[in-house]
Chains A and B, each alone.
Chain A
Amino acid sequence: MQRIHQVSALLFVAFSAFVMKEALDMEYYTRLGPGAGFFPFWLGGLLGALAIVWLFQVSRRDGGPRDGAFFPNKSGLVQIGAILASLLATAGLMTALGFQLTMFLFLLFLLRILGRQKTPAALIVALLGSVGVFHIFGRYLDVPLPVASLSLLAKLGL
């Protein structure tokens, strides 16, 4: 547990160093006053300094974080991975398959596979959440959701 906190602190230090480096590539100060890089430079510096203080705090033997697994169970981790993968797949497929089909598959996966709901209930909610939401958003809220770029699916009204 202590190692994870130390690594996290170092990641923050690296992130702040990157921000400072990028900020220095911008205008730091101009004739009129602070430039575009002034504020991010100091923010990066302060974040880095705070991360170093935190690193010292978590590295102390007595004041360090309590022991225990960072991820207590593997099945939870698999579930998290599945949720994230399904979200990225949804983002990746939405242009090609359109909102209705992508959301239908996304909801079916979440409810039937991850949520372990009964198939009829999962199907009904997936249909309402995809086709229903598409029409409500498009017609009544004036928020158009993507249609399929694949011509075959587009012809089917998806």
Chain B
Amino acid sequence: MDTLHNLLMGFAVAMTPQNLVYAFVGSLLGTLIGVLPGIGPVAGAAMLIPLTFQMTPTGAIIMLTALFYGTQYGGTITSVLLNVPGEAASAVTCLDGYEMTKQGRAGVALAMAAIGSFIGGTFATVALVFAAGPLSRWALEFGPVEFFALIVLGLSLLMGLAGKSMIKALMMGMFGMILAMVGMDPVRGLPRFTFGHMELMDGIGFVPIIMGLFGLAEILENAEKRFGPVFVSRIGSLVPSREDLRRSVGPIVRGSVIGTLLGLVPGMTGSASSFLAYIAEKKSSRQPERFGSGMIEGVVGPETANNAHANGAIIPLFTLGIPASPTVAVIMGAFLMHGLIPGPFLFKDHADVAWGIIASFYVGNVILLILNLPLIGIWVRILKVPYGMLFGIIMAFMVVGAYSVSNSIFDIVIMTLFGVIGFLLRKLEFPLAPVVLTLILGPLMERSLRQSLEMSQGDIAIFWESPIAVVLLCLTALVLFAPAFKFFRRGKGSLAGDDEGA
């Protein structure tokens, strides 16, 4: 009953005209980012943060989360129409989606993907509503010891599942944490790695670093390629037949469950969910050999799963204060910048904010359904804008975004520097997702470790005295050392590229 009451209160917050506008703008920009090459959800969310400074914290997070799940919708459009995934999570959709386009059924593929995404996103939001209470009450029992163990587990999952090499993922995790050490020591307030520069006293801003690593690095990578003009095929009718609808029911149900469950696991990316959903469809089909030739199940299953994943990935952030993916980590950064700490205390101290944001997910998914069905023609037209024009506009936004975080030209230089670093790391096949996560979680991890050791006066045995911490640390050891997890790594390894992790 409490949950229903809280949700209704959340709808009262989410349905204010101001917050509806923020949800609309976030959904619109998310779809745009999903459609456009050269910018992903991580850099997109980071770029948007400076624009939220004048907003209420609720409005800001509503806009950023809408952008996050909006990119999943947008990524489908290029996968189906151009055979080019707008986002890594939509890569598997190309297999059958583009075949449907060649058969003149692009409209049906896009319509069913949008409907599946809507249902998947809504399903995961319902899961969030029911998980929020019990999980956050459980997390309230956490002290610094348990919190430290939880962060270690979260990070080990993220690194263990990121990319093809665990060594490289761990290196990137350490690198991100070292970057997070720059600035004031969180416990004693002493400067670290500032080298006498006032600009570094507050640390290196995570927005310029992320825009450099994810936004500029991608533009530099694309500068080595040549982009030709885009030819978009005819979309055809958007109305699915009764047979299309019948065949989509199973994939939508399975995709919703797979996406929501995998979204809960830190490190599982949207592409892992869509890939597993595709495998599930193929295995449950009576005609598995026809997959890859324009089967609607191959489009609806993965698209439902990646959207359910995007919404499901918010659950650990809201209940435990742990981001499950790089974009969610950026959203966590936005929470902190607005003076809110995501986690169990959010429901206790700022219930209106927490439930307002959750209710906005329903609203956002409805907006995205409207944006992606009747307005599909507009997105197709945007696809035709030449890359030579787009990259300039994206760069201008990155410069403005980097500058306006703290009105500092120094941040433009930082963004440029990390653009070069990101470009070289991509060339060396390092996964960049762990950098973002440890950059955000590093200070929290250090604070909880030092608080724990101060409580025990330096005795490390404090970590074995808490049963919760012991379980979490044992799970960490399992993740890092047990070969059983190779299953997941194999699944990810088969998906090309460094998934931003949406």
Residues on A lying within 8 angstroms of B by beta carbon are 4-5, 8, 12, 19, 22, 26-27, 29, 32-40, 43-44, 46-47, 50-51, 53-54, 57, 70-73, 76-77, 79-80, 83-84, 87-88, 90-91, 94-95, 103, 106-107, 110-111, 114-117, 121, 125, 129, 133, 137, 141-146
Q: Is the CB of A84 within 8 A of B420?
A: yes
Q: Does B388 make an interface contact (CB < 8 A)?
A: yes
User: Which segment, of B86-94, B185-193, B278-286, B345-353, faces chain A?
Assistant: B185-193
Residue of B with least CB distance to A30? B188
21 A-B pairs (CB sep. < 8 Å): A4-B428, A8-B424, A19-B178, A26-B192, A33-B453, A36-B185, A36-B190, A39-B181, A40-B192, A44-B178, A47-B178, A54-B167, A73-B224, A79-B224, A84-B220, A87-B412, A87-B416, A111-B389, A111-B392, A125-B389, A146-B409
Contacts of B427 in A (CB 8 A): 70
Interface flag for B322 (CB, 8 Å): no
Q: Which residues in B have their C-beta under 8 angstroms from that of A91?
A: 409, 412-413, 416
Report the minimum CB–CB distance from A80 to chain B (whole Å).
Answer: 5
Tell me whether B16 is interfacial, beta carbon within 8 Å. no
Identify the stretch in B23-31, B261-269, B399-407 within 8 Å (CB) of chain A at 4 or more residues: B399-407
Known A-B contacts A47-B171, A125-B389, A145-B403; the reply to A84 vs B416 at CB < 8 A is yes
Task: Report the nearest A residue to B414, measured CB to CB.
Answer: A91
Contacts of A114 in B (CB 8 A): 388, 392
Stretch at the interface among B46-54, B244-252, B480-488: B46-54
A107 to B398, CA, bound (A): 12
A100 vs B384: C-alpha distance when bound (angstroms): 28
- Bound state CA distance, A50 and B171, in angstroms? 6
Q: Are A87 and B399 in contact (CB under 8 A)?
A: yes
B428 / chain A contacts, CB cutoff of 8 Å: 4-5, 8
B152: min CB distance to chain A, Å: 13
| Bound form: Cα–Cα A117–B385 in Å | 11
Question: With the chains together, A64 CA to B393 CA distance in Å?
Answer: 39
| B372-415 at interface with A (beta carbon < 8 Å) | 386-389, 391-393, 395-396, 399-400, 403-404, 407, 409, 412-413, 415
| Chain B contact residues, majority secondary structure | helix
User: Is residue B241 within 8 Å, beta carbon to beta carbon, of the partner chain?
Assistant: no
Give 4 nearest A-B pairs by CB, closest first.
A115-B388, A76-B224, A110-B392, A33-B454
Once bound together, how far apart are the Cα atoms of A46 and B438, in whole Å?
14
Q: Which residues of A contact B225 (CB under 8 A)?
A: 76
Q: Please, which residue of chain A has its CB at the minimum distance from the CB of B456?
A: A33
Contact with A along B31-69 (1 / 0, CB 8 A): 000000000000000000011011000000000000000
- Which residues of B lie under 8 Å from residue A19 when comparing CB positions? 178, 193
Closest beta carbon of chain A to B272's beta carbon, Å: 24
Determine whether the beta carbon of A53 is less than 8 Å from that of B388: no
- Closest B residue by C-beta to A71: B224
B206 to chain A, nearest CB (A): 17
Whether the Cβ atoms of A80 and B395 lie closer than 8 Å is: no
Collect the chain A residues with CB atoms within 8 Å of residue B171's CB: 12, 47, 50-51, 54
B287 is an interface residue with CB less than 8 A from chain A: no
In the bound complex, do residue B223 and residue A80 qualify as a contact, i.e. CB atoms below 8 Å apart?
yes
Contacts of A71 in B (CB 8 A): 224
Distance A36 CA – B186 CA, assembled complex (angstroms): 8
- B interface with A by C-beta (< 8 Å): 50-51, 53-54, 167-168, 170-171, 174-175, 177-178, 181, 185, 187-188, 190, 192-193, 216, 219-220, 223-225, 386-389, 391-393, 395-396, 399-400, 403-404, 407, 409, 412-413, 415-416, 419-420, 423-424, 427-428, 446, 449-450, 453-454, 457-458
Cβ–Cβ < 8 Å partners of B393 in chain A: 107, 125, 129
B400 touches A137 (CB 8 A): yes
**Which residue of A4, A22, A33 contacts B193 across the interface (Cβ within 8 Å)?**
A22
Is A32 touching B454 in the complex (CB atoms < 8 A)? yes
Are the CB atoms of B399 and A103 closer together than 8 Å?
yes
Pick the contact of A34: B168, B178, B412, B450 (CB < 8 A). B450
The answer to whether A36 and B192 touch (CB under 8 A), given A47-B171, A87-B416, A107-B396, is yes
| B369: min CB distance to chain A, Å | 29
Residues in chain A near residue B420, CB distance under 8 A = 84
Q: Would you call A107 and B392 a contact (CB within 8 A)?
A: yes
> From residue B394, how far is it (CB to closest CB) to chain A in Å?
10
Query: In the assembly, what is the distance between CA of A143 and CA of B225, in Å?
Result: 35
Are B391 and A110 interface neighbours, CB within 8 A?
A: yes
In whole Å, how far is A98's beta carbon from the nearest beta carbon of chain B? 12
A94 touches B53 (CB 8 A): no
Can you name the residue of chain B whose Cβ is closest to the Cβ of A102?
B399
B347: min CB distance to chain A, Å: 30
Q: Which residues of A contact B219 (CB under 8 A)?
A: 83
| Neighbouring B residues of A43 by C-beta, 8 Å | 174, 177-178, 181
Q: Tell whether, in the assembled complex, residue B404 and residue A143 are in contact, meaning their CB atoms are under 8 Å apart.
A: yes
User: Does A80 contact B224, Cβ atoms closer than 8 Å?
Assistant: yes
B499 to chain A, nearest CB (A): 21
Q: A8-B428, A91-B416, A129-B393 are in contact. Are A142 and B54 (CB under 8 A)?
A: yes
Which residues of the other chain, A, contact B190 by a CB distance below 8 angstroms? 26-27, 36
A53 to B220, CA, bound (A): 29
Distance A103 CA – B403 CA, assembled complex (angstroms): 12
Give the distance to chain A from B158, nearest Cβ to Cβ, in Å: 16
Given A50-B171, A72-B224, also A143-B395 (CB < 8 A): no
Q: Which residues of chain B are near A117, meaning CB under 8 Å? A: 386, 388-389, 392
Inter-chain CA distance A8–B168, complex, in Å, is: 12
Q: Name which of B175, B181, B193 has the most chain A CB atoms within 10 A of its CB.
A: B181
A106 touches B396 (CB 8 A): yes
Q: Which residue of B lies closest to A142 (CB)?
A: B54
Q: How far is the CA of A76 from the CA of B427 in the complex (A)?
A: 14
CB-CB < 8 A to B170: which residues of A?
46, 50
Further 16 A-B residue pairs, CB within 8 A, beyond A35-B188, A83-B219: A29-B458, A39-B449, A43-B181, A44-B178, A47-B175, A79-B223, A80-B223, A80-B224, A84-B416, A84-B419, A110-B391, A110-B392, A110-B396, A143-B50, A144-B407, A145-B400
